[in-house]
Structure 1
Amino acid sequence: MSRLRVESFTISLDGYGAGPDQDLAHPLGVGGTALHGWAMSTRTFQTKLFGNAQGGVTGIDDDFAQRGFRNMGAWILGRNMFGPVRGPWPDESWRGWWGENPVYHVPVFVLTHHARPPLVMEGGTTFHFVTEGPLVALERARAAAGGKDVRLGGGVNTIQQYLRLRLIDEMHIAISPVLLGAGERLFEGINLPALGYICTRHESTPLATHIVLTRR
């Protein structure tokens, strides 16, 4: 069976995976973009986000960025990761953060309480809006992945839901050397050892400490 993986999810030194007051101007919350300096510096992210195949650095940070795209057949996102719209969809004008050719290039299943027709984008990405909860989203994502793994993109609340259900097989967490002071703490109220997670890898660079947590 395909695995459910969290990849390149970054938290601050004080444990926040997003800053406070997320909105259109601050999609990661106030100060949240500072978390991702390690990722934006890599060749992988420069290529996938900006088409700059010659830019960015290689090395440990880039190795971890690369692994997040290997053997991925589908993604799952919380609604906040798709966009800032809250409540019932007023219309279908919001089409995601990434423009008409998002970075996913595979089916993406968005958890939401409000139905919306599938949204077909360029490059092989189709957003499917799932109102039946995390278990159904995972079932549909695995079916779409065709034996490949499913990447759980976040945000914090979505990862917490799957953690509490013990459905995440592996997590790569990057700890960025910044302090946010407020926002959403990734492991708030989560007892990782009790859920069966152990640290199976850790490496540090000047820009991040990379941790891999694996469910036994």
Structure 2
Amino acid sequence: MSEVIARLAMSLDGYIAGPESGREHPLGIGGERLHSWVYGLRTFRRMQGMEGGADGPDDDLIAEHVARPGAVVMGHGMYITGEEPWGDNPPFHTPVYVVTHHPREPLVKEGGTTFHFVTEGPERALALAREAAEAAGDKDVSLAGGADLVQQFIRAGWLDELLLHVVPVLACGGRRLFDNLGDGHGEYVEWRKTEVLDSPGVTHIRLRKADPVG
């Protein structure tokens, strides 16, 4: 069965977007600092239709993750990141299932990306994404965000792997990744650390959902 994977850049104090994230500021105010390490990598530049870029361990990690998904799930807030969401040729090149309360017909873009708008909730979006990913050759489902949707997936136990890019900055406000997960009375969400890759501008930590005890 397809796995559900997520890849997110995060500040030292746990934020994945700066303050006032939305249409005007897609990454939040100052949120670009969380992603500056990736802009010069070969894989990122290729996804944006550009040439050149740096290779090496950071790029290898991104290239491996980019190759895995056969479908994407995202929240409505992440979808509306501009006047024309994601431009003419989005970087996904797979079906994207948007969890939303706003029904509309699928939106076909260049490069193999089609946005499907799912109003029946995240579980239905995940089921549709699994079907598409498996039809693409038993690939995985990428959970793109935002924070609220990732938290729902973690609470439900649907997220199999989380790749964090921890950037040495303090955001001091914005959208935190690990809020709203427990009951505040000693409940824990268990993960296994399976890989750590340290670079000057970022530390990559790959986590797997812990196996049940017993």
Same fold (TM > 0.5): yes
Q: Are 1:195 and 2:189 an aligned pair?
A: yes
Q: Are 1:77 and 2:74 an aligned pair?
A: yes
- Which ranges in structure 2 are unaligned for 5 or more consecutive residues? none
Q: Are 1:57 and 2:54 an aligned pair?
A: yes
Equivalent-residue separation in structure 1 for 2:79 and 2:200 (angstroms) = 30
Deviation per residue, 1:100-142 (Å, 9 max, x gap): 1111111000011111111011111100001111110000001
Equivalent-residue separation in structure 2 for 1:70 and 1:23 (angstroms) = 28
- Match for residue 45 of structure 1? 44
Equivalent-residue separation in structure 1 for 2:45 and 2:105 (angstroms) = 31
- Check conservation: 2:151, 2:177, Cα contact below 8 A: yes
Equivalent-residue separation in structure 1 for 2:57 and 2:190 (angstroms) = 27
One-letter amino acid of the structure 1 residue matched with residue 192 of structure 2: I
Deviation per residue, 1:135-194 (Å, 9 max, x gap): 100000011112210100111111111010010110101001111100111012436x93
Question: What's the CA shift for 1:84?
Answer: 4.6
The two structures have a TM-score, normalised by structure 2, of 0.90
Give the share of equivalent positions with the same residue, in percent: 44
Question: What's the CA shift for 1:40?
Answer: 1.0
Q: Are 1:96 and 2:96 an aligned pair?
A: no
Q: 1:166 aligns with which of 157, 161, 165?
A: 157
Equivalent-residue separation in structure 1 for 2:22 and 2:164 (angstroms) = 24
Deviation per residue, 1:58-104 (Å, 9 max, x gap): 1121122112212311001111111158xxxxxxxx5412x111111
Q: 1:178 aligns with which of 169, 182, 185?
A: 169
One-letter amino acid of the structure 1 residue matched with residue 206 of structure 2: V
The two structures have a TM-score, normalised by structure 1, of 0.89
Query: Following TM superposition, where does structure 1 have runs of at least 4 consecutive aligned residues deviating by more than 4 angstroms?
Result: none
- Match for residue 110 of structure 2? 122
Equivalent-residue separation in structure 1 for 2:81 and 2:94 (angstroms) = 22
Question: What's the CA shift for 1:24?
Answer: 3.0
One-letter amino acid of the structure 2 residue matched with residue 22 of structure 1: S
Q: 1:211 aligns with which of 184, 200, 205?
A: 205
Correspondence 1:16-35 to 2 at 5 A:
16-35=15-34
Equivalent-residue separation in structure 2 for 1:186 and 1:170 (angstroms) = 15
Equivalent-residue separation in structure 2 for 1:194 and 1:181 (angstroms) = 25
